[in-house]
Chains A and B, each alone.
Chain A
Amino acid sequence: MLAIWPIFTSNQFLLTMASMVLLSAIGAASLNLIIRTGHVSLAHAGFMGIGAYGCVLAQLYLEWSFPIALIFGCLLSGLVALAVGPIILRLTGKYFVLVTFMLGEIIRMIFIEWKSLTGGSNGLSNFPPIHPIFESSINFYYLALIVSVLCVALCWRILTSELGRAIDSMREAEKVALCSGVPVIKIKILIFVIGCVLVAIQGAFQAHLIKFVDPTSFNDLASLNFVVMNVIGGMFHVAGPLIGTIFISLFPELLRDYVDYQRVIFGVVLIIVMAALPGGIVGTFARLRGKK
């Protein structure tokens, strides 16, 4: 269905919007991977930024072609994750949330302060496109669809594999998992790095979709947005982050006629959903079905 519908529409805005949703699904699903290990990261948008800046800067200054620049951006994000992961993943619960919050802010401040390289708050634009054929919205949409499906499928595959069971076990009972021979910290680092690499892919493609990178796209609100997507959708179902992404991305668009009130209403909806549906949308459906 996702592959066919663009044939019936040529609305540029809808297509760009849809590409955006597809790319956001990567971030939400990859954060879900990290959340499953029991760690809620608020630095996710920061890593997305590393991917975006890494890719764009490699294209601009090193004049690499897009695929190599993309790999460069992902590697950069992965390396940073690998460097900080072993230190911060030993923290649990709220302490991890706070330390990643700070980490995300530091990453964003580097984007702002390193003006000679990143252009500071003004951001970067006028970088070479991925390939001339992706200039048209519809082609970009299909590219985003393929990339998104591959990345989300990877997350889903990991969660349903033996590794996924190990992840669930160490979230529910870390000490038991450790005693049963699960290399807890190694898996946590592995998953953290994979999550950060995936979100870097999103960052790189998103930079090319909107043809612009600037530090505000990667601030704490963007990170929180990923968490909200997971929480609204339901954290412990594979479909949760996807439904959350659609909800979070499309809901503000539904209120487009009331631009002034859009965020106010969105805030109120967040409150109501959190107070009334603690398991998220998917969790609530699962519970309703369980009752019948």
Chain B
Amino acid sequence: MFSMAMFGQALVNGVSLSAIYVLIALGFTLLFGIMRVVNFAHGAFAMLGGYALFFAYGQYQLPYAVAIIGSALLVASAGLIFEYFVVRWFYHKMFQSMIGLMGLNMAMVFTGVIVWDAHERSIPAAASEVLFVGDLVIPADRVVVLAVAIVVLFLFWMFISKTKYGLAMRAASQDVEIAGTQGINARRIYQVAFFIAIFMTALAGSLYTQVYALSPFVGERILMVAFVVVILGGMGSIPGAALGGILLGLSESFLSTFFGAAVSTFVTFGAVILLLVVRPWGILGEPE
């Protein structure tokens, strides 16, 4: 049953899955690290990203690059409206944010059901070719997923580490009050952070639903991924989210290829619980 071809296949799937997971988790950890908000509506925003791509690419047949970036931008802009009316009331209130944003999640998901009904849809693949590399069979859409994710992750990294806003954001995540005394406009930083987080989530949502299937309830699974990855890497830690995403994507892919999906989920969750018990702040997080 074990063969190099299967190993390679699992690796390819795992890497593209990891890329999506990192995108999901980065936004989640950013919101937690900077605003101390546990974004229970994270999956719902990813779901919106999926529908945006469904209409932009599937219905109106825009060019793929325009469709995928445009739909993520659209959802992120809509996200700013949610930020103004809902999310900003919950900054730095971790507990209230959990329940309040759960409410937002519920409202968004069931509005989705009303508008788009509960049936599963599929988004046409960006590329239908199949690449052969030696024994490996690589579906081209997986390569597209990986490429899009890598470009966005690189831009994100550049933004965080090289620009003034990125620096201000890192400062605000360490200590809001001291950052404020240094002339950093926390309100603006929060908006920027929220925009970026939702952008990445929506993008991840459209990539994910393109590979699997789209329904208003797809967010549940994505939220779960965000939780697991962020716990693995450490709440609020950006390198942690990247590491956690890669770990989860690869282990899920290998375990489910060789032992089945149920075993994969049990092992992942078991490992996360074990980690929470011995090192609750995650692999790269810092104890409080």
CB atoms of B276 and A98 under 8 A apart = yes
Q: B4 within 8 Å of A by Cβ?
A: no
26 residue pairs of the A-B complex, CB under 8 angstroms, read A95-B276, A95-B281, A97-B98, A98-B227, A99-B277, A102-B231, A105-B269, A106-B269, A109-B269, A227-B99, A228-B102, A231-B95, A261-B114, A262-B110, A263-B109, A264-B110, A265-B107, A266-B106, A267-B102, A267-B103, A267-B110, A270-B102, A270-B103, A270-B106, A271-B107, A275-B86
**Beta-carbon contact of A99 and B273 below 8 Å:** yes
Residues of chain B in range 239-287 having any CB-CB distance to chain A below 8 Å: 262, 265-266, 269-270, 272-273, 276-277, 280-281
Given A91-B277, A106-B269, A106-B273, the answer on whether A271 and B100 have CB atoms closer than 8 Å is yes
Cβ–Cβ contact A266 & B99, under 8 A: no
**Residue on B with the closest CB to A97?**
B98
The reply to whether the CB of A288 lies closer than 8 angstroms to some CB of chain B is no
B111 contacts A by Cβ under 8 Å? yes
A48 at the interface (CB under 8 A from B): no
How far is B109's CA from A260's CA once the two chains are assembled, in angstroms?
12
Q: How far is the CA of A40 from the CA of B273 in the complex (A)?
A: 16
Evaluate whether A91 and B280 lie within 8 angstroms (CB atoms) in the complex, with A109-B262, A113-B262 already known.
yes
CB of A21 within 8 A of chain B? no
Q: How far is the CA of A88 from the CA of B99 in the complex (A)?
A: 22
* Interface presence of A218 (CB below 8 A): no
**Chain A residues with Cβ under 8 A from B95's Cβ?**
40, 231
Q: Is A274 an interface residue (CB 8 A)?
A: yes
A269 at the interface (CB under 8 A from B): yes
Q: Does B94 contact A (CB under 8 A)?
A: yes
Residues of A within 8 A of B101 (CB): 271
A257-288 residues with Cβ-Cβ distance < 8 A to B are: 260-271, 274-275, 278
Instruction: List the 10 shortest-distance A-B pairs measured between CB atoms, nearest first.
Output: A270-B103, A267-B107, A267-B106, A274-B100, A95-B280, A263-B110, A275-B89, A267-B103, A271-B103, A99-B276
Q: Is B215 in the interface zone, CB < 8 Å from A?
A: no
Residue from the list B94, B111, B276 in contact with A264, Cβ < 8 A: B111
Q: Is the CB of B96 within 8 A of A275?
A: yes
Q: Which residue of B lies closest to A278 (CB)?
A: B96
Closest chain-B Cβ to A216's Cβ sits at a distance in Å of 12
What A residues does B280 contact at CB under 8 A?
91, 95, 99
Is B103 in contact with A102, judged by CB distance below 8 angstroms? Answer: no
Chain A residues with CB under 8 A of B110: 260-264, 267
B93 at interface by CB-CB < 8 Å: yes
CA distance A271 to B109 in the complex (A): 14
Against B, the Cβ 8 Å flags (1 = close, 0 = not) of A75-114 are: 0000000000001101100110111011101100100010
Q: Does A222 contact B (CB under 8 A)?
A: no
Binding site for B on A (CB under 8 A): 40, 87-88, 90-91, 94-95, 97-99, 101-103, 105-106, 109, 113, 224, 227-228, 231, 260-271, 274-275, 278
Q: Determine which of A101, A228, A261, A262 lies in contact with B99 in the assembled complex, contact meaning CB atoms within 8 Å.
A: A228
Q: In the complex, A155 Cα to B252 Cα: how many Å?
A: 42
Could you tell me the distance in whole angstroms from the C-beta of A231 to the nearest C-beta in chain B? 5
B104 within 8 A of A: yes
Query: Chain A residues near B90 (CB, 8 Å)?
Result: 274-275
Name, among A88, A105, A265, the residue most crowded by chain B CB atoms within 10 Å (CB to CB).
A105
B235 proximal to A (CB < 8 A): yes
Within the complex, what minimum Cβ distance (angstroms) separates A80 from chain B? 14
CB proximity of B234 to chain A, nearest CB, Å = 11
Taking CB atoms and an 8 Å cut-off, the chain B residues in 164-189 that contact chain A are: none
0 or 1 for each of B131-175: is its CB under 8 Å from A? (1 = yes): 000000000000000000000000000000000000000000000
What residue in chain B is nearest A99 (Cβ atoms)? Answer: B276
CB neighbours of A109 from chain B (8 A): 262, 265-266, 269
Chain A residue at smallest Cβ distance from B224: A105
- B99 x A274 contact (CB < 8 A): yes
Complex alpha-carbon distance, A262 and B106, angstroms: 10
Known: A102-B272, A106-B270, A265-B107. 15 other contacts (CB 8 A): A40-B95, A87-B277, A90-B277, A94-B235, A99-B276, A106-B266, A228-B99, A263-B110, A264-B106, A264-B107, A267-B108, A271-B104, A274-B90, A274-B99, A275-B90
Q: A87: which B residues are within 8 A, CB to CB?
A: 277
Using CB atoms, name the residue of chain B closest to A105. Answer: B269
Cβ of B13 under 8 Å from chain A: no
Once the chains bind, are B227 and A275 in contact (CB under 8 Å)?
no
B16 on the A face (CB < 8 A): no
**Of B96, B100, B114, B276, which contacts A102 at CB under 8 A?**
B276
A141 to B99 alpha-carbon distance, docked (Å): 31
**Contact with A267, one of B105, B224, B277, B281 (Cβ below 8 angstroms):** B105
Residues of A within 8 A of B108 (CB): 267
Which residues from B are CB-within-8-Å of A263? 106-107, 109-110
